[in-house]
Structure 1
Amino acid sequence: MTDVAVIAARLGLYLTLAITFGLPCFVFWAWRDGRRSPPGPWAWIVGIATLLAMILSVFQLIALAASMSGTALTAVDRATISMLLDGGAMGRAWKVRVGALLVILMALILTRRAPGASRMVSAAGGGVALATMAWFGHGASDEGAAGWTPLVADLAHLWAAGVWTGALVGLSWLLLRSPNDASHGHAALCERALGGFSGLGTLIVATLVVTGLINTWFLIGIDHIASLMADPYGRLLLVKLAAFGCMIVLAALNRYRLTPALERVLKESGDAARSLSRLRVSLLTETAMLTTILGLVAWFGTLSPPAGG
């Protein structure tokens, strides 16, 4: 039960922390030319995600303490928690995360007065908070100079995944906030957001592929590639790769087929309802694949990789 609690806490943290970083980044990038203000209550979404991340961080700390001491969640005492907080890099990372989340909340209060600064500070705080998850996984397990390579790769992997998550949340909100609204103005807003993010999406995919290969090299090892199916970690990794492949296909479909189709309809002043409907289905499927991947990554953290076993 304790391991399940740890996995659930990690999944929730990956999702909420990715939103605190990725959504402000998406809003900044998609509307970077300043011709039109970003739509939607992005600050409220980030604020809710931040509060949930703080609650989940406390729960994660309790769950880790219970797992380390071999006791039930309700039996964890202050001494065990204090030892975990003061015992090394993981405890320091947890404190940094909570501090970064507080910074985000303070920045969001200033959204109306200084929206640009609020987005920048929120994104910076979210990036720091999301980065702390690297110290709760395998990327920070090695010490010395050799340990920096997988750690840096893990950080880049987290940030790239965070921006992708934020983009999916922002785009999904745009497409789902009014499913029956196929007006030219709303459709044009959706097309602009999709087009504004497309260039960055290519960089995100490239970063995820490169850092994923680096992590696989260090965590799996060349000698274990052929026997992945024989190891629980390896089987989960293969499922993750399959889900990631589906996400790449869907992202390519959105960029090269569905978004251009929406643009053509808008230029011809036609009915955009069908194009928007197809984009909704694609984005919801992509979001489901992303959630599956984050759940698998949360599970990975409780298993020993082949190269470290």
Structure 2
Amino acid sequence: MEDWGIIALRWALFVSLGLLFGLTAFKRLSLGSDRPSDANVRHAVALLIVAASAAALSVLGFAVQVSSMAGVPFAEVDKATVQSLLGETALGLALKVRLVALLAVIIMAVASALWRLSSSAVQALASGVALATLTWSGHGAATDGTVGWVHLAADILHLLAASTWIGALAGFLWMLFRAGSGQVGEARQTCRVLAEFATVGSSLVVILLLTGLANAFFILRDGDPWAALAAPYGQLLALKMVLFVGMLGLAGVNRLRLTPALSAAVESGDPERALKPLRRSIVLEFGLGIGILVLVAWLGTLAPNTTPVAS
């Protein structure tokens, strides 16, 4: 498979696993209730589809990586090589843990859809474990010693926080575009959820900034940062920061201007006029988030290429 195919596959995994955790975390943090309802059933069906897709993508991704590591075409990978990498490498362990976690999510989603039995806390834990396994084949897992464990923990926390933000945006889009979203009662609920998530959103930004700086330090600490910026890895990392700042700016506009405007419009009985700019802003913010995931998928295929600093 060509490099762009591998990047597309990695991106699809980041999106599916990120939404799986993010939507569950958003429901837990903002919507809260696990009481039986049609909304919880719809949420369970969505989780079932996303989890099944993530499992299929994970198996395909492992097969592609095995093909790349063995240096043979995808169709010519032999069973012995697959078994060896599956049983003796961190890559194989990550796949097995991820599939078990996804199976747990699928079972709980089926239980919720059929019998209205739900536990968003357990779903968030299982989907979070599945998401965290993506970092086991990244730069954090390549760092040795105690520092490596700190780097890996920062990677995991960064990915969980980013996915919570993306999942929240997806949740907001569903609320803003669902049937009847322009009615006063539905718009009032949207205002409430937006307001309640504001504090969580601020915490996510702090976590993303701190873990992002930590990850950059661990990757670039033994080299020349200016040399890194001249390489594709550094340039893509800089572009990722630009998109992040764009998301941060839109989030600020949403919180300080568009959400209060929607609240005022709800009180006046005409929320539709304030929903339109908020919808546009959330769509754009979500698009920037998806763009960041493209860059994350791409960065994972590149080496930082830093030049060692002369002693």
TM over 0.5: yes
Q: How does 1:142-291 map to 2 (within 5 A)?
A: 142-178=143-179, 181-221=181-221, 223-269=223-269, 271-291=270-290
SS in 2 for 1:303: coil
Is the 1:219–1:307 Cα contact (8 Å) retained in structure 2? no
1:280-306 per-position Cα deviation (integer Å, ceiling 9, x unaligned): 111111111111111111111111123
SS in 1 for 2:302: coil
Distance verdict in 2 for CA 1:93–1:33, change over 3 Å: closer
Aligned residue number for residue 99 of structure 1: 100
1:84-106 per-position Cα deviation (integer Å, ceiling 9, x unaligned): 21232221111000000000011
Distance verdict in 2 for CA 1:237–1:44, change over 3 Å: same
Distance verdict in 2 for CA 1:165–1:181, change over 3 Å: closer
Is the 2:227–2:306 Cα contact (8 Å) retained in structure 1? no
Q: Structure 2 CA distance, aligned partners of 1:278 and 1:195?
A: 17
Q: Structure 1 CA distance, aligned partners of 2:277 and 2:222?
A: 41
Q: Structure 1 CA distance, aligned partners of 2:255 and 2:222?
A: 35
Aligned residue number for residue 123 of structure 1: 124
Distance verdict in 2 for CA 1:34–1:77, change over 3 Å: closer
Distance verdict in 2 for CA 1:11–1:151, change over 3 Å: same
Task: Verify: 1:46 aligned to 2:47, yes or no.
Answer: yes
Q: Structure 1 CA distance, aligned partners of 2:271 and 2:246?
A: 26
Q: For residue 103 of structure 2, what is the amino acid of its counterpart? A: L
Q: Structure 2 CA distance, aligned partners of 1:164 and 1:101?
A: 21
Q: For residue 53 of structure 1, what is the amino acid of its counterpart? A: A
Q: Structure 2 CA distance, aligned partners of 1:134 and 1:301?
A: 10
Distance verdict in 2 for CA 1:294–1:250, change over 3 Å: same
The Cα RMSD (Å) is: 2.2
Structure 1, unpaired ranges of 5+: none
Is the 1:18–1:162 Cα contact (8 Å) retained in structure 2? yes
Distance verdict in 2 for CA 1:105–1:33, change over 3 Å: closer
Q: Structure 1 CA distance, aligned partners of 2:172 and 2:181?
A: 15
Is the 1:131–1:155 Cα contact (8 Å) retained in structure 2? yes
Aligned residue number for residue 57 of structure 1: 58
Is the 1:221–1:307 Cα contact (8 Å) retained in structure 2? no
SS in 1 for 2:88: coil
Is the 1:219–1:308 Cα contact (8 Å) retained in structure 2? no
Aligned residue number for residue 87 of structure 2: 86
1:131-186 per-position Cα deviation (integer Å, ceiling 9, x unaligned): 000102111112221211111100100110111121111111111223x7411012
Is the 1:22–1:162 Cα contact (8 Å) retained in structure 2? yes
Distance verdict in 2 for CA 1:183–1:198, change over 3 Å: same
Aligned residue number for residue 295 of structure 1: 294
| CA-CA distance at 1:274 after TM superposition | 2.1
| CA-CA distance at 1:262 after TM superposition | 0.6
| Identical aligned residues as a percent | 38
Aligned residue number for residue 133 of structure 1: 134
| CA-CA distance at 1:37 after TM superposition | 6.5
Is the 1:2–1:66 Cα contact (8 Å) retained in structure 2? no
Aligned residue number for residue 6 of structure 1: 6
Q: Structure 1 CA distance, aligned partners of 2:8 and 2:33?
A: 39
1:4-56 per-position Cα deviation (integer Å, ceiling 9, x unaligned): 23212211111111111111110111123789979472212211110110110
TM-score of the superposition, structure 2-length normalised? Answer: 0.92
Q: Structure 2 CA distance, aligned partners of 1:256 and 1:116?
A: 35
